[in-house]
Structure 1
Amino acid sequence: MDTHTTPLIEYLESLGYKVELNNGDSVAKNYDNTNEAMNSLYDGIGLRNISHSGILELRGNDSVEFIHRIATNDVKNLPKEGIAETIFTTEKGRIIDYTTLLNFESHQLLITSADFRNKIVSWLNKYIITDDVKVAVTEKKYYIFELLGPQAESFATLICGNIANQIQPNTFKIIHTEGMLFFLAKIKDIKGRIKFWTISDEDNARRLTKYIVDNKGIFNFNFIGEDVYNSYRIEQGIPATPYELNDEVNPHEAGLMDAVSSLKGCYIGQEVIARLETYDKVQKLLSGVEFTEPPLPESIFVLLDNEGKEAGNVTSYVNSLKFKKYIGLAYIRKNFLEPDMKLIAKDQFHRTLPVEVKSLPFKK
């Protein structure tokens, strides 16, 4: 979805929005407000444009049942205005993508990662045989903004009125206020915290964004670019595609079992995922690492112990904006997961750096 020249993007650029095109999608890298934005994520409210996500529209009488049958979560009885997070996995129980399903009754939206949108479309079409399901990749039809931070609920009430308080977690409602029309979704995220999405067309997204800026009041509010969010998500231990979520790991390892139903029966990959839990076969888990020296950019690290035995691999790292040190996420074998255990990170050029294992989320 190339939104670079839309009025919404032009308005955001006037506020300091720095746009980059990634596979044709407009991605907000930063807003020239790095320190203020990070402070808002921890102590206030941040607004992040996630319209570059994959936004698939599902239509047909069998759509919800179809998703229920092939993905990990129980969505068979997902009510109108209900939301469920579910994972698509391969036959071997490996992650294809972590997605969010919203039920509008007449149709559904499936929100995927930007990285694996096309893979999900191919996966869905592979299994649609006689089902009444039509999958469409939307282009410039829906715009999604994410409100996150400890003041998210209070801020949503300021913008939308008391209806924001009445919305239950993992549901959404239509909002008509100040001449604007949009959907407000209240979502419990991977870490169990509440965040909000606004979903609308481009014109309402632009007007809503301007309304938020004009009426933020005393709230600690800032726009959140992807550079700032990437630091925040690593600090909080939030896995993301294609780094932590890909077809080399399973939901157990990624800590995503809340999006996996153990009661609903078969889905693609179910037997492998169930066996891993039943027989305690999960070998590695997502954890944190702290670098004691700055790593070189674009290094790919394998983790070793002092005897040269492989302990895991680093998936993401960043010079943390909050903690002012280099930290990362890594899949580490369970026998190396003692806090502060010292390991060696070896890159693709055989350069080595000392690291320490840290629990998630990171703390000072």
Structure 2
Amino acid sequence: MTTVGVETGSYAEQSVTNDLAISAALSGVAVADLTRFGRIRVTGDDRSQFLHNQTTAKFDSLTEGEGCDTVFVTPTARTIDIAHAWIMKNAIMLLVSPSTGISISEMLQKYIFYADKVEVHDISKQTCFFVLVGPKSNEVMKALKLDDLIGKPYGTHRHYTVDGMPVTIGVGSVLCRDGFSFLLSPSSSRAVWKVLLNLGAIPMDANTWERLRVLQGRPAPGKELTHDFNVLEAGLWDAVSLDKGCYKGQETIARLITYGGVKQKLWGIKLSGAAEPGSSITIVEDGKKVGVLTSYSIGREEGEHLGLGYVKKQVGLGEQVCIGDVLGTLVDVPFLSHPPSVTP
């Protein structure tokens, strides 16, 4: 079921609606239907250790009601996807990107050994997933009388009812640590969606969500998360445990840190105009190629443009670059994290 989306006729009407949703997400409150994302339920006595061994987060230190971001990587630390995980009483729920749900489920099945007490279930069709985004998300939670989650650590989640419908709500909105996420059944989704709209949340469609993703700087599979770039270059340090034991990709990540193997960095790029992803990024002064543009979006306001792109680590914040005839400036974006040791 897809509940999101305001039916509008012309492109101009859609643009106004999209701008309103972006403004709400950045200064008010918006709600997005992420039911198209994948949801994977991992059960069994060995589930925490299993995911601890398969992803970058430290699952063995998490307990029921907590959550985190974690990254699926290849043995050579190339990025597959970011997953948002909730530790529940009898399971761990993973939210993954729309394009990776099936492949990650299959990959996890492949790594279950005979003696492992682990089961992997794709629950995407049995559930829906909404997110509240924006600084006024807390006001919606207060109106729902669910304000006990406000101020709790990222990933904290609890079971509630909204308009009499059961729903699990967690801290964080996938794109940022603020906001809230709602896991619920298809049968209750329409009623809960209506409640959120009645409390002032502005609906955000898939195209506008993609625009917000670029503005926030969250890497996406097939764009920033590919076999061409490793998890540290992708700016996902906050989702990588550097002190846990062996896991897939761990040896490569350790070598990257020890021997300075992080050669490039994902940046936001403030642009003077529209630019095509896949285009080369060059230095203004000498025309030398230093990277590649991976995503592009119009900005928050009319006339603003923003991209994401990988750039050699010698090129730093505020550097002037070109993407074809378009000028750009490297800027920080909220989602990405980098330790001081790899910041130019």
| Superposition TM-score tier, normalisation by shorter sequence | 0.7 to 0.9
**SS state of the match for residue 93, structure 1?**
coil
CA contact (8 A) 1:169 1:188 kept: no
How far, CA to CA, are the matches of 2:274 and 2:238 in structure 1?
Answer: 35
- Post-superposition Cα deviations, 1:274-321, rounded to whole Å, max 9, x if no partner, equal 2212222211111122333444xx653012335453200000012224
Give 2:129's aligned residue.
Answer: 144
For residue 323 of structure 1, report the CA deviation from its aligned partner: 5.4
How far, CA to CA, are the matches of 1:108 and 1:314 in structure 2?
Answer: 35
Unaligned segments of structure 1, at least 5 residues: 19-29, 346-351
- Map residues 66-105 of structure 1 onto 2, 5 A cutoff: 66-105=50-89
How far, CA to CA, are the matches of 2:77 and 2:267 in structure 1?
Answer: 20
CA contact (8 A) 2:49 2:60 kept: yes
Give 1:16's aligned residue.
Answer: 7
Determine which of 225, 247, 262 is the counterpart of 1:245.
225
How far, CA to CA, are the matches of 1:317 and 1:213 in structure 2?
Answer: 29
How far, CA to CA, are the matches of 1:293 and 1:84 in structure 2?
Answer: 36
The amino acid that maps onto 2:303 is K
For residue 119 of structure 1, report the CA deviation from its aligned partner: 2.2
2:329 is the alignment partner of 1:332: no
**SS state of the match for residue 241, structure 2?**
coil
For residue 328 of structure 1, report the CA deviation from its aligned partner: 0.7
Amino-acid identity (%): 24
Determine which of 95, 98, 110 is the counterpart of 1:126.
110
CA contact (8 A) 1:175 1:183 kept: yes
- Post-superposition Cα deviations, 1:240-263, rounded to whole Å, max 9, x if no partner, equal 222112222122111111111111
Determine which of 164, 170, 195 is the counterpart of 1:211.
195
How far, CA to CA, are the matches of 2:250 and 2:175 in structure 1?
Answer: 20
- Post-superposition Cα deviations, 1:142-174, rounded to whole Å, max 9, x if no partner, equal 111000101112222212433333754321111
How far, CA to CA, are the matches of 2:181 and 2:63 in structure 1?
Answer: 18
The amino acid that maps onto 2:278 is I
The amino acid that maps onto 1:256 is L
Q: CA, structure 1 residues 17+158, in 2 after alignment: closer, same or farther (shift >3 Å)?
A: farther
CA contact (8 A) 2:165 2:192 kept: yes
Determine which of 350, 353, 356 is the counterpart of 2:325.
353
**What is the root-mean-square deviation of aligned Cα atoms in Å?**
2.4
Give 1:322's aligned residue.
Answer: 301
CA contact (8 A) 1:291 1:353 kept: no
Give 1:186's aligned residue.
Answer: 171
Give 1:63's aligned residue.
Answer: 47
Q: How many residues align?
A: 328
The amino acid that maps onto 1:128 is I
Give 1:266's aligned residue.
Answer: 246
The amino acid that maps onto 1:272 is T
Give 2:19's aligned residue.
Answer: 35
**SS state of the match for residue 233, structure 2?**
helix
How far, CA to CA, are the matches of 1:123 and 1:201 in structure 2?
Answer: 26
For residue 36 of structure 1, report the CA deviation from its aligned partner: 1.4
- Post-superposition Cα deviations, 1:47-83, rounded to whole Å, max 9, x if no partner, equal 0001111111212111111001121110113211221
How far, CA to CA, are the matches of 2:76 and 2:290 in structure 1?
Answer: 23
**TM-score normalised by length of structure 2:** 0.87
CA contact (8 A) 1:47 1:145 kept: yes
CA contact (8 A) 1:49 1:146 kept: yes
CA contact (8 A) 2:42 2:91 kept: yes
